[in-house]
Structures are given as structure tokens and as C-alpha cells.
Amino acid sequence: MPRRSILSAAERASLLALPDAEDEVIRHYSFSETDLSLIRQRRGDANRLGVAVQLCLLRVPGQGLLPDASVPSSLLHWIARQLRTDWARWPQYAEREETRREHLLELRAYLGMESFGLGHYRQAVHAATEQALQTDKGIVLATSILDSLRHRHIIIPALDVIERICSEAITRANRRIYVALSEPLLDVHRRRLDGLLKRRENGKTTWLAWLRQSPVKPNSRHMLEHIERLKAWQALELPAGIERLVHQRGAVRRGATLRRRC
């Protein structure tokens, strides 16, 4: 069975989107004299332009130049303007995979950045699991992971890796929530909860579906039904304070997710 997608296509595109507005491009991608000195050590306009582009992408969004990465023309124009070279030389560099890798290693050392490895993956999963106890929203978890990696000067891996971290964190958090809620239950509680899956006397819905029905227009008949639901919940006699064993925001979000899937 394929893994459920944690991020939508729009969310994936937004996570590593490059700045587009002119003021943002200037703010994020202006070179210092030290940067220019490093770039000018390369031979040929294409190599200088390529090193400059990789330097920019390592800083924002925090990735090196991927083989299929497309660089916005606005960024190429701004970089070429600073280097006083022709941005049209870019295709000559973009097709040289070995050269790109060599330059990427040099720039990582220059910026003091680490490659993403197994240890970083485990740390990210651990941190994301703690956050996933509060929310199972993939974009929130992924953004937090990326912010942490950037703060620690670690190269951002492919988005598939980030999504895998989010998925594993949510799975671990769900298991912890399940254990926290199920451990206090006695056999009698479990039997009562199992009974919610049986159909009611009218045979149309289960007890659980009936209890989850949204409030309707207030009137005397609906008020009596609401009182019946409260009595049914009270009859379960679940352990006191069980709702405080998990984060309330996380419980609410998972309840909403469960309702959408049912």
C-alpha cells in the first residue's frame, strides 16, 4: 500500500520556494566582498555564475543546486549584474554535473554547512514526534524541521525525505497517544467502547456514529436527544482525567481527521 501523502503539491512547492519579489532577491542574494573574492577564483564566466548561484541556493532555501532545479531568471539577472557578466552563460554551467558537485563541496566548507545524514534524520524524527503530539498537520511539522536544519547549518535534503520524517513522526505520536489513552482502561471499559460499534435499536447507525452527530437546530426534541447522548457518554464511566493524558490540540485535530475519514 502506498504511503499516505503528508504534504499537498502546493505545500511542497511553497516549502523551498525561492524569493521572487525584487526586494527579497536583493536582500537574500547580495554578495559580500568575501563572497565575490571566492567567486572570482573560478575560471570563466559560466563557472563564476554557477558558483554564485549555488552559493545563493545554499543560503536560501538551504539546498545545493539539484540536477533538475530551475533557477528563476530574476535571480540569474541579479547575480549576473553583481558579477558583471552575461546571465545567458548559465546553461553552459547547469549541464556540468561533476563541476557542480565539486563546487558544492567547496561552498559547503566555505559556509560551514553539514551534509544531511542518518544522525540528522533520527534527530529530526525525535523532535518532530514531540511536535506531532500537538498537531498532525504536515506543513507545520515540515516547516519546523526545515527551520531547525537551517539554524544548525545543515543542508536541506530532498522534500521526499522531509515528508518521510513527518510521516514517521506522526505515526510515532499516534502510537504514544493510543498507549496513553488505552493503558488506564480496564476490561469493562474496553467492552463498553467496543459496544459503541454495534448498531442501535433502529438499525440505521452505530452508537458511535450517533454520539458523533453534530448539534442541530435547538428545540425540545433535539434537546432531549442531546441529553440522551450525554447519558450515553456518562454510562461509559471512563477513568477520570483520561482526557488530560494527551495534548488537547492534538486530540482535537486527530478527532477531526478521523471524522473526515469515516
Number of CB atoms found within 10 A of residue 55's CB: 23
Q: pTM for the whole thing?
A: 0.79
DSSP state, residue 8: -
For residue 191, the model assigns a pLDDT of: 92
Q: Which three cell numbers stand for residue 133?
A: 503530539
For residue 256, the model assigns a pLDDT of: 46
**Which residues span the domain enclosing 86?**
9-111
**Domain assignment present for 2:** no
Assess whether 27 and 83 both reside in one domain: yes
Which of 136, 161, 182 represents a domain boundary (last residue)? Answer: 182
- Give the span between the Cα atoms of 107 and 58, in whole angstroms: 8
For residue 262, the model assigns a pLDDT of: 39
**Domain assignment present for 1:** no
Assess whether 233 and 148 both reside in one domain: no
**Domain assignment present for 3:** no
- Give the span between the Cα atoms of 116 and 151, in whole angstroms: 13
Assess whether 178 and 194 both reside in one domain: no
Beta partners for residue 154, in sequence order? 114
Assess whether 157 and 234 both reside in one domain: no
What are the b/e assignments for 152-167, b being 16+ CB within 10 Å?
eebbbbebeebbbbbb
- Is there a contact between 246 and 133 (Cβ–Cβ < 8 Å)? yes
- Give the span between the Cα atoms of 208 and 121, in whole angstroms: 39
Assess whether 44 and 101 both reside in one domain: yes
Assess whether 204 and 256 both reside in one domain: yes
How many domains are there within the chain? 3
- Is there a contact between 52 and 39 (Cβ–Cβ < 8 Å)? yes
**Domain assignment present for 104:** yes
Which of 90, 111, 132 represents a domain boundary (last residue)? Answer: 111
For residue 82, the model assigns a pLDDT of: 96
DSSP-assigned states of every residue in 127-169: HHHHHHTT---HHHHHHHHHHHHHHTTB----HHHHHHHHHHH
Q: Which three cell numbers stand for residue 6?
A: 503528508
Assess whether 126 and 212 both reside in one domain: no
- Give the span between the Cα atoms of 130 and 94, in whole angstroms: 40
Closest CA to 12 of 158, 159, 137: 159
**pLDDT tens digits in sequence order for the chain, 262 residues long:** 345 688 999 999 999 988 888 899 999 999 999 999 999 999 899 999 999 999 999 999 998 776 556 788 889 999 999 999 999 998 888 677 888 889 999 999 999 999 999 999 999 999 999 999 999 999 999 999 999 999 999 999 999 999 999 999 999 999 999 898 888 999 999 999 899 999 988 778 898 888 887 766 777 777 888 888 888 888 888 888 887 777 665 555 554 444 444 3
